[in-house]
Every structure is written in C-alpha cells, then in structure tokens.
Structure 1
C-alpha cells in the first residue's frame, strides 16, 4: 500500500480512476482520446470546441473565445442572482441571496449593468450589415447557456463570442474597413 510522506495512505491512484465511467463515456460518445476525455473542458460543448480549436481544426473556437464564453456565463449567473431568478433547471432551488447585506444592492446593480453592457455589445454586432444572416442570440442560448450541440450555429457563436471578447477586452478589436462607396456618401 502506497503512503504519503506523513505516513497516511495515499489516495492518488484512486483519484486517477475515480471518473473512469464518465471518461469512457466521453471517449465513446464524442470520439475523444483518453487524454482529451480527462480534460475538464471535455465536459461542455464549448470546451470541446476549444479543444478542437487547439488541434488547429476549422470547426473549433480559440482560447480567447473560450475565455469570453466563460466570462459570459459568469456574468449571466451573476445577473440571475442579482434579479433573484429561480434557477430550477440547474439547482432546483430558489433565487439569490436573501440576506440583504450593506453592499448587496450596489453589487447587484454592477452585475446587472455588466450583463446589459455585454448584451448591448452582442446586439450591436448582430446589427452590422455583414452579420445580417446570423442569429447570435440563438447560438448563445443553445450552445452556451443550454450546452446543446448544434454544429450549424458554431459560426454565429464565434461572432457572438468575438463581440463579448471585444467588449471585455479579451480579444483585440479589428480595424473595420470603410467601403469606398460609403465614404463618398
């Protein structure tokens, strides 16, 4: 029996095989290698898209877009807490903090303002002429919030995550080209 330096029985070997069923399921369902299936990102569709992006495939997202996705989810969760939305689908419990602390009001206002600013950035990107055929809101809802797999929405999700990343300063803004006919007008 292996022991640690302090003499206690080591649990390291058990921890490696602890989630063997979940890892085997990820390998079978998503076609991942064992190393990829053990990665924590393999648990979500966005994480698997990020892993695909790391392999330099065209069907993934970048690390910066993944970071923007996690920031969006954190802002969404904070917004849900701020408005005391019951999160019955995930936790089965009621709304947010019932103990109204001194700075609770200001913290909730900041959370709401941040989420509304992120939504405004996505809406602005949605309104650009070159993005008129995309549905970024559906991509955010289904792929990011609900964690469903819809491969036809990945392009729209990339655009939405770029907008979130630009707003939060995670992704550098590209210079927009002005069309010559628009300059003359």
Structure 2
C-alpha cells in the first residue's frame, strides 16, 4: 500500500511533535525593524536587538549619554507613575493593569496600596520640584513628560532629561548625594 497525503519534506528541522520548525523564519521576521532601528538611531546590530532600544532613555543609555543609575531611575519613575495612575483609576492604566484586580482585595488593603502609590508619586514630584528651583534655566517637567512618559525623543532636551534622571536617581537612592565637587549644588535636594 502506498502512502497517502502530502509528501514529507526531507532535511527539514522539526519540533518534537513532528511539525516543521519555524524558529529560523521567526528570527528573520525581525530583520527589517532591526535594520531600520540601526540606520535611524545609529546603533550596532547587538544594540538594536536589545530591549532597551525600545525607549528613549534606553537608547540614551546605549549611546552612553546616561549611566546605569539614571536608566534605573527612569525605569523606577515609570513604575511609580504607573502605580499612581492605577491608584487614581486613570483610564489608560486600567486597560494595562497587570496582576490582581482591585475586586480581589479587601477595601483596606486596596486603600493602603493607593495611598502608598500616591505618596510615592508626590515625593517624586517634590524632588523634581526642588531640583527645578535650582535649575531655573531648564525645563525638567517637559523633559520628564516628553522623553520618559511619552517616549518621544528631542535632541535639544537631552541635557534636561539627563538632569532629571540624575535627580531621580538620587531620590530613589540609586546614586549617593555628592557633598563636594562641581555638581554639588545640583544634587542636594534634601
């Protein structure tokens, strides 16, 4: 008796279930966006494949315009802001909520979590406000909003963005507050 059906491809990589593996083709699907990212942003292929290249502060870190502490401060600020938006039940934050919903917890636990998120966000804003008083020639709020929250790149705001990330790294305790040196007046916030 002869075999029925479609002939089996010889020398094809297969998954354990016997299907032809498409892993190599899935990797090739990302080639065009990575090539465009390399050309547009001036990154190497390794940097363009890095997940950090998906955000403005990640690109600045890959270009060595900010350091690790500033990048981590940007990530922490995004987490604090997201928690704050969930605490005030902003429409965009409710769609992207991860983890347990508010109905799973009792009202006291949820209220405590919301109060904690609001106070952390207020503390972060206070630190930026104090730094803005020192840096009158910069617009730290615009740099934070446009380059971190909205993820839009503006070359003329790189200095302001670096400054606000440095302030946030001190606020979150990622960088020690320097008491001497040329930038001492910039970092003393407490």
TM-score interval, smaller chain? 0.7 to 0.9
The equivalent position to 2:179 in structure 1, one of 175, 179, 185, is 175
Higher relative contact order (CA 8 A, sep 6+): 2
Paired residue secondary structure (2:59): helix
Mean Cα displacement is larger for which, 98-107 or 108-117?
A: 98-107
Q: What TM-score, normalized by structure 2, do the two folds share?
A: 0.77
Equivalence map 1:24-103=2 (5 Å)? 24-53=35-64, 60-87=65-92, 93=95, 97=101, 99=103, 101-102=105-106, 103=109
1:118 maps to: 124
Deviations 1:110-162 (A, max 9, x none): 1111111111111111112xx11111000001111111111111111111111
Superposition deviation, residue 3 in structure 1: 5.1
Number of residue pairs aligned between Structure 1 and Structure 2:
167
Equivalence map 1:133-172=2 (5 Å)? 133-172=137-176
Q: What TM-score, normalized by structure 1, do the two folds share?
A: 0.79
Runs of 4+ displaced beyond 2 Å: 1-4, 6-18, 93-98, 176-179
Superposition deviation, residue 46 in structure 1: 1.2
Task: Tell me how far apart the structure 2 counterparts of residues 135 and 114 of structure 1 sit (CA, whole Å).
Answer: 22
2:31 maps to: 20
The CA RMSD measured in Å over matched residues stands at 2.7
Paired residue secondary structure (2:90): coil
Task: Tell me how far apart the structure 1 counterparts of residues 40 and 112 of structure 2 sit (CA, whole Å).
Answer: 45
Q: Is the 8 A contact 2:102 2:110 kept in 1?
A: no
Paired residue secondary structure (1:111): helix
5+ residue gaps, structure 1, are: 54-59, 180-185
**Bigger Rg over Cα:** 2
Paired residue secondary structure (1:99): helix
